[in-house]
Structures are given as structure tokens and as C-alpha cells.
């Protein structure tokens, strides 16, 4: 009887031991699966963050590229607007008010802060209504015309346009031309904008016509 009891107790102990080992294994397996699930969730979230960062970086690069292209093309667009958009006059042709309105249109279509028409001596003939610091601009135009003359003294071709870019990121373009016996300068100021040396060329035809008409009216 004692041996039978001992055998039963031993068998029960073995069953309990096996059961405890199984339960321990199940618990460890559940913990491992939970750890793997948590790692998978963290990796998924990290992958989503990386995708979002890459997407935002692509958007930023795309916007930067668009801004760079727009900046590079702005001088060409500016010149094309003066070339193809008509410059009209609301007053009688050739009068002083007509010249001012014409320069207003040039300033608007070319996105210029100031447009000035001056003679060889630096005297203003007309200016856009948004014009500022005209005395200084007249002096600048006169000086640039003098520099152009000296550059042509050696027999080389004299420049038709000169441009100054100052520390305030403002570009001043002076286009030198002649109408009859008069040597004139059409000067435009453009803050923070790239300018082509030929930016004012499309406007010269209309300015020439207005000045010739004015001379005929005065004559």
C-alpha cells in the first residue's frame, strides 16, 4: 500500500511538473508574441514617419524648385509682358500727361517701382506716378550715360544699357536711346528682381512715338 501511494504521489508530482512547464512555456510564448507584436507596431509607425518625412521633403524640394525656376524666368516674363501686352494712352498723344501715363503702364506691366525718362543733362521729362527719389535717379541716369560715353571713346561700341545693383538688392536699369537729335535715358528701378539688360527695349517703340508726336505738336 505504501509503495502504491508513493507511486501515485510520484506520478502526480510528475504531472504537476509537466503542467507547470507547459504553463510556463505558454506564458513565455505569449510574452514573446506580445514583444514581437509591439516591435512590429513600432516598426510600422517608424516606417510611416519615414514615409511622411520623405513625402514632405519631396514637397519642399518641389516647391523650392518651382520658386527657383520662377525666379530664373521672371526677367523673361517681365520682358514678354512689355513686348506683347499693349501699351495704350488715355489722353491725347504727345502731351506731357500722356508720357507720364505711358510710364505708369510700363511700371505696372514690368513690375517696376519707378520709371523715369530723362535727357542727356539729367533733367526729368516724365516719370511714373509711383516714382520715388527722382532727383537721385536723374543723377544716376546722367552718370550712367556719361560712363557709356567714356566706354565708347576708345572706338569700341558704346553700351546701350547699363545696370546698377545696390546693397539693398535693388536693380536700376538705364536704357540709352535717341529720338531725333535728342539723346535720352529710360531708367527703371526694380527691387529684389532680376533684370535683363534688354528689359526696357520693348517699351522704347511706344516712348519714341510719344516723343515724336509731342515734338510735332509743339512744332
Higher pLDDT, 9 or 136: 136
pTM (2 decimals)? 0.60
Task: Give the domain ranges of the chain.
Answer: 85-218
CB 114 within 8 A of CB 188: yes
Higher pLDDT, 172 or 2: 172
Is the pLDDT confidence value at 213 over 80? no
Mean pLDDT across the stretch 214-218? 68
Higher pLDDT, 58 or 48: 48
Is the pLDDT confidence value at 176 over 50? yes
| pLDDT, position 90 | 46
Tell me the C-alpha distance between 166 and 183, whole Å. Answer: 26
CB 160 within 8 A of CB 152: no
Best CA proximity match to 123, nearest among 167, 199, 189, 182? 182
**What pLDDT band is residue 104 in, cutting at 50, 70 and 90?**
very high
Tell me the C-alpha distance between 34 and 45, whole Å. Answer: 16
Task: Average the pLDDT over each of 36-45, 82-91, 104-113, 140-149 and give the range with the smallest value.
Answer: 82-91
**What pLDDT band is residue 128 in, cutting at 50, 70 and 90?**
very high
Contacts of 10 (CB under 8 A, 6+ apart): none
What average pLDDT is seen over the chain?
Answer: 75
Mean pLDDT across the stretch 77-105? 60
Higher pLDDT, 43 or 69: 43
Class level of CATH domain 85-218: alpha beta
| pLDDT, position 219 | 57
Amino acid at each position: 500500500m505504501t509503495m502504491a501511494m508513493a507511486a501515485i504521489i510520484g506520478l502526480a508530482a510528475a504531472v504537476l511538473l509537466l503542467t507547470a512547464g507547459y504553463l510556463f512555456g505558454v506564458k513565455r510564448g505569449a510574452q514573446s508574441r506580445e514583444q514581437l507584436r509591439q516591435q512590429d507596431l513600432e516598426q510600422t509607425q517608424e516606417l510611416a514617419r519615414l514615409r511622411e518625412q520623405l513625402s514632405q521633403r519631396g514637397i519642399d524640394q518641389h516647391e523650392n524648385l518651382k520658386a527657383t525656376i520662377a525666379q530664373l524666368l521672371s526677367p523673361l516674363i517681365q520682358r514678354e509682358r512689355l513686348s506683347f501686352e499693349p501699351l495704350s494712352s488715355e489722353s491725347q498723344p504727345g502731351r506731357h500727361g500722356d508720357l507720364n501715363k505711358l510710364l505708369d503702364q510700363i511700371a505696372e506691366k514690368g513690375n517696376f517701382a519707378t520709371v523715369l525718362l530723362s535727357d542727356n543733362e539729367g533733367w526729368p521729362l516724365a516719370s511714373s506716378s509711383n516714382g520715388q527719389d527722382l532727383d537721385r535717379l536723374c543723377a544716376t541716369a546722367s552718370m550712367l550715360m556719361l560712363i557709356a560715353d567714356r566706354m565708347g571713346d576708345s572706338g569700341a561700341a558704346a553700351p546701350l544699357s547699363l545696370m546698377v545693383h545696390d546693397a539693398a538688392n535693388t536693380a536700376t536699369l538705364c536704357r540709352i536711346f535717341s529720338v531725333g537729335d535728342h539723346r535720352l535715358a529710360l531708367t527703371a528701378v526694380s527691387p529684389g528682381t532680376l533684370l535683363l539688360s534688354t528689359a526696357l527695349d520693348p517699351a522704347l517703340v511706344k516712348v519714341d512715338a510719344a516723343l515724336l508726336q509731342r515734338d510735332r505738336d509743339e512744332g
